[in-house]
Amino acid sequence: MANKAVTFKNYEGQKYEIKLRKPRKEVKAAGICYPPENVGIAKILVNPHQDEDDVQETIIHEISHAFFWGTSEDKITYFAKTLSQILKKLDNT
């Protein structure tokens, strides 16, 4: 995957920028969705140094935070894992 930024808006109009870039070392996660801001662009970082399936799952996970901010980490993780598995199965058919 190319190292480029993609921007999108959630349903509340908050603009996000997502980049395939490893989060800071003190962030022990494959990705991070920074809190939405009232002004400007909120950032999402996804570690590209994972296998392709994990990158896809992490992208889904972090974008889910952008749309469902405040939803528990367990629910976001379950949703991202389930959607990633469904997409993989559909791709293999």
Tens digit of each residue's pLDDT, the chain (93 residues) = 556 899 999 999 999 999 999 888 777 889 999 988 766 899 999 999 999 999 999 999 999 999 999 999 999 999 999 999 999 999 876
| Beta-bridge partner residues of 65 | none
Return the pLDDT at 23. 86
Return the pLDDT at 2. 55
The answer for residues whose C-beta is within 8 angstroms of residue 69's C-beta and 6 or more apart is 35, 36
Contact (Cβ atoms closer than 8 angstroms) between residue 84 and residue 77: no
Return the pLDDT at 19. 95
Q: Which two structure tokens, joined as six digits, stand for 82?
A: 């389930």
pTM value is 0.89
